[in-house]
Amino acid sequence: MSNTDLIIIGGGAAGLMAGVSAGELGLKTLVLERKARPGRKLLMCGNSRCNLTTNISEDRMVQMFGEPVGPFLAPALSAFSPSMLQRWFAANGLKTVVKTGNKVYPHTEKAADVLTLFTDLLRDRNVSMACSAAVQTLEKTKNGFRVTTDNFVVESKYVLIATGGVSYPKTGSVGDGQEWAKRLGHTVEPFKPGLAGFEVEPNVIKGRIGKIYERVTVDVLSKGQIVGQTRGVFEIEKWGVGGTALTDASRIVARLNLKDYRLRVNLGDGKFEEIRPLQTRSIKEAMVTVGGVALGEINGQTLESVKCPGLYFAGEVLDVDGPTGGYNLQAAFATARLAVADVGRRCGKKVSSLWKKKHSKRLLRGGTVEGGVRAEADRKRGCLQIMRL
Ligand SMILES: Cc1cc2nc3c(=O)[nH]c(=O)nc-3n(C[C@H](O)[C@H](O)[C@H](O)COP(=O)(O)OP(=O)(O)OC[C@H]3O[C@@H](n4cnc5c(N)ncnc54)[C@H](O)[C@@H]3O)c2cc1C
């Protein structure tokens, strides 16, 4: 058995936050990343501006995630809420700003600065990271786990899988974590594109490519009923229709497993447009993956598997996805931190230091909680609403 407490597989948003958090606790940690550099998807976030979170309360965030993701994430969001996330970044030297729609960005509005912060903190906290280290297999051993990469084998008592979903596979997330989870006895919910645009008949976009409608409402209609509502931007692209209102609608389509549906776009001034999409864009073009390791087999209080003790999951490898606006990074960061807290507790570390009081004294100013965002999961009507005003 090696003297490593924790091996983190994946150096994306969740893996980097987990590594830094493990460093805060003084855990002997190794992060393994397939790509030559970590955080490839992080660098793409928010058009490279990195929408870190949404400035709303954790309760509202739980509502916005909807069933079943919200209730599962509630303990993680409570332990590391959107406001705590902002304080954490500020306390570590990267202030954040709240922009339109309560979207929170680093004040420099550069994703590269977020990645640099993480890699600097890993270095400062003596956390090892091996890049170009694609993990091939993960096996349970008598005392923990054996992790085999192309070039070396490492063992540790605890492993955190943070290998992401399957969207944008060129960034390194290709579904390896879900495969290992399956082999270790877990259920993996089928992958579907979340936060993607829709392909449509050519006549829908003809003569309008490039047109942007800034504030629309979209009703997702199925069997004559409104089953979901979103609000935001509507864009006509050369491949179909997109923009935040439409990408959020695609998540509803995926979550409700809709086959026969239409999108009614309220353009304002009494003008409506009804679209019957051919299909959602491919998962490779989606911003998130709906599906992943089944939430019922993971303890939401600790992120430990109930099937395989000592194995933890964080981020999009889980069947976790949220709307546009910083929800997905918030989920990745919060699950990573809660998982590491549990490993720390089991390794006898003083976990309360993860949620240092001094951070709260450095609260960022501005940004009223919840202002500008309305969300409601109207379970009675079975209607998931995602409203961004
Ligand atoms: C274009 C785009 C823009 C986005 N913008 C935003 C935004 O502004 N705000 C927001 O909240 N969300 C945004 N998202 C979603 C967000 O990026 C993801 O939800 C988040 O990155 C998930 O983090 P993760 O760590 O779980 O996975 P990832 O970031 O995908 O990281 C997984 C890591 O694991 C590594 N890995 C995989 N398999 C192995 C293996 N076998 N061995 C070793 N390493 C491995 C990968 O190389 C990768 O680095 C965006 C997504 C896209 C595609």
CATH architecture of structural domain 197-281 = Beta Barrel (2.40)
In the chain, CATH 3.50.50.60 covers 6-192+286-371
pLDDT the model gives residue 232: 95
CB 249 within 8 A of CB 222: no
Tell whether the torsion through CA atoms of 231, 236, 241 and 242 is positive or negative. Answer: negative
In the chain, CATH 2.40.30 covers 197-281
Q: How far is the CA of 19 from the centre of ligand 1 (A)?
A: 15
Q: Ligand 1 atom closest to Cα of 172?
A: 47
Lining ligand 1 with CB less than 6 A are: 9-15, 32-35, 38, 40-42, 44-46, 50-51, 134-135, 162-164, 167-168, 171-173, 176, 287-288, 315-317, 326-329, 332
pLDDT the model gives residue 83: 96
The verdict on whether omega for the bond into residue 68 sits within 30 degrees of 0, i.e. cis, is yes
pLDDT the model gives residue 70: 97
Contacts of 110 (CB under 8 A, 6+ apart): 48, 49, 50
Structure tokens at 158: 């605890």
Query: How open is the CA angle 213-217-218, to the nearest 5 degrees?
Result: 105
Per-residue pLDDT tens, the chain, 389 aa: give them.
Answer: 467 999 999 999 999 999 999 999 999 999 999 999 999 999 999 999 999 999 999 999 999 999 999 999 999 999 999 999 999 999 999 999 999 999 999 999 999 999 999 999 999 999 999 999 999 999 999 999 999 999 999 999 999 999 999 999 999 999 999 999 999 999 999 999 999 999 999 999 999 999 999 999 999 999 999 999 999 999 999 999 999 999 999 999 999 999 999 999 999 989 999 999 999 999 999 999 999 999 999 999 999 999 999 999 999 999 999 999 999 999 999 999 999 999 999 999 989 888 764 443 333 332 222 222 223 333 333 334 333 32
Structure tokens at 330: 């918030």
Longest dimension (CA), the chain: 68
Q: What topology does CATH give the domain 6-192+286-371?
A: FAD/NAD(P)-binding domain (3.50.50)
Q: How far is the CA of 346 from the centre of ligand 1 (A)?
A: 27
